[in-house]
Amino acid sequence: MDTLLNAEERELYETVKEFADTVVAPAAYQYDTERRLPIEIIHQMGDLGLFGLPFPEEVGGRGKDYVQLCLAVEALGRVDQSIGVTLEAGVGLGIMPIFRYGTDAQRQQWLPELVAGRALAGFGLTEARAGSDAGATETVARLDGDEWVIDGSKQFITNSGTPITSLVTVTAVTNQTERPDGTVKKELSSIIVPSGTPGFTVGESYDKVGWHTSDTHPLAFDGVRVPAGNLLGERGRGYANFLQSLDEGRIAFAALATGAAQGCLEEAVRYAKERNVFGTNIGSHQHVAFTIAKMQARVQQARLCWHDAARKMVAGKPFKMEASIAKMVAGDAAMENARAATQVFGGYGFLNENAVARHYRDAKVLEIGEGTTEVQLMVISRELGLAA
């Protein structure tokens, strides 16, 4: 880390790492068991300024950059992936679209609470038949006078049903035209739907394999009416605008996965030094030592990849391929390190009270969320000019 970070970045990482170790980690098992997002911890993260890291001071942010946001996500992901992804999605999917594409009125209405961590927002893109294939979106929105009327449903939407969720931005089909070949071209737009709007229903939380503390729900829209002024950005640019957030989100997701891989490494090193079998600690056995050495290598690879992508992004250079590489490499590292750490712990690694057991359950989604590994391979292939 010393060669990757400047003094300011190192100070931020150490601050969030201490917060993660002293506040988040001791409560992680309790909230995982209760399957609820600890709002009190989210507010403390807001007090630390974490939700405002990449935003300018004039909107209540800290005036930092995306690298520092990713450092915070990595530090949190070491001890609790659910808390890390709440920050990652809260900023990248909740706040960033409004900051980047919102009108002055929309910014003034929504940003102060979101940037301060007193509120959360979600982004509703995925549907039962639409995700990576956004052209299959079935949720529709039509103008009726000065209101949008929205009908449809979304699924797997993060931060959509917490007690402090203030809004969800949804993609919807706002027009359809038939092409000469008979296929249909859909116009996709993004629309802000405030929580509590009549007809907007947040379904029961999913019974997930992992990320039990992260808030994830299906959403339904039945004749939901919102002002025409709730259109976010240019009409017909809803998905195109989201793609930029998606590329950026893959970097933060890679940082989260790196944190998970690092957390598994730290736990495995600690346990290998403490656990004695046949008169010696298990870390003195070559197989265990080599297993952990490979874990270290994976962490370093993942960290270098996300830093490369993030620093290119901050410098204004193309980063699409690097973001996909980082997301894929780091997701693999988290999954492999979680498996290895669980094996090092043996039976104790199969107990949910153990951090490595929770990482083992949580890590799989790091190969799925923000675009599956297969999607990343497709993106990388296309960036290389290959047909995929």
CATH number, domain of 309, equals 1.20.140.10
- Residue in 198, 327, 188 with CA at minimum distance from that of residue 253: 327
CATH number, domain of 75, equals 1.10.540.10
Strand, coil or helix: what is 33?
helix
Instruction: Tell me if 295 is assigned to some domain.
Output: yes
199 and 316 in a single domain? The answer is no
173 and 225 in a single domain? The answer is yes
Strand, coil or helix: what is 385?
coil
Give residue-wise pLDDT tens across range 156-174: 999 999 999 999 999 999 9
Supply the pLDDT for residue 226. Answer: 98
274 and 374 in a single domain? The answer is yes
Count structural domains, the chain.
3
Task: Using the structure block, give the residue that is written with the tokens 């939380």.
Answer: 205
* Whether pLDDT at 215 is above 80: yes
Question: Rounded CA gap, 302 and 67, in Å?
Answer: 14
Q: Return the structure tokens found at 338.
A: 């979680």
Question: Rounded CA gap, 56 and 197, in Å?
Answer: 30
Question: Rounded CA gap, 251 and 317, in Å?
Answer: 14
145 and 114 in a single domain? The answer is no
Question: Taking phi first (over 0 means left), then psi (-120 to 50 degrees means alpha), and beta for anything else, what does residue 67 get?
Answer: alpha
Instruction: Tell me if 388 is assigned to some domain.
Output: no
199 and 167 in a single domain? The answer is yes
- Residue in 93, 283, 122, 346 with CA at minimum distance from that of residue 215: 122
Question: Rounded CA gap, 94 and 97, in Å?
Answer: 7
Q: Which of 64, 98, 120 is the last residue of a domain?
A: 120
156 and 101 in a single domain? The answer is no
Q: Which residues pair with 141 in a beta bridge?
A: 150
Supply the pLDDT for residue 243. Answer: 79
Give residue-wise pLDDT tens across range 91-144: 999 999 999 999 999 999 999 999 999 999 999 999 998 877 777 899 999 999
Instruction: Tell me if 2 is assigned to some domain.
Output: no
140 and 92 in a single domain? The answer is no
Instruction: Tell me if 261 is assigned to some domain.
Output: yes
Strand, coil or helix: what is 258?
helix
16 and 75 in a single domain? The answer is yes
Supply the pLDDT for residue 173. Answer: 96
CATH number, domain of 211, equals 2.40.110.10
Of the given ranges (3-17, 158-172, 236-250), which has the lowest mean pLDDT? 236-250
Q: Which of 80, 104, 120 is the last residue of a domain?
A: 120
Neighbours of 133 (CB within 10 A): 9
Q: Return the structure tokens found at 15.
A: 């601050």
Strand, coil or helix: what is 216?
strand
Instruction: Tell me if 89 is assigned to some domain.
Output: yes
186 and 103 in a single domain? The answer is no
Strand, coil or helix: what is 192?
strand
Catalytic residue positions?
A: 370
What pLDDT band is residue 388 in, cutting at 50, 70 and 90? low
Instruction: Tell me if 1 is assigned to some domain.
Output: no
Q: Which of 96, 120, 144 is the last residue of a domain?
A: 120
In our burial notation (b when 16+ CB lie closer than 10 A, e otherwise), range 151-177 reads bbbbbbbbbbbbebbbbbbbbbbbeee
222 and 95 in a single domain? The answer is no
Exposed, middle or buried, 277 (CB in 10 Å: 0-12/13-18/19+)?
Answer: exposed
Show the domain range for 341.
240-383
Give residue-wise pLDDT tens across range 176-212: 888 888 778 889 999 999 999 999 999 999 999 999 9
108 and 129 in a single domain? The answer is no
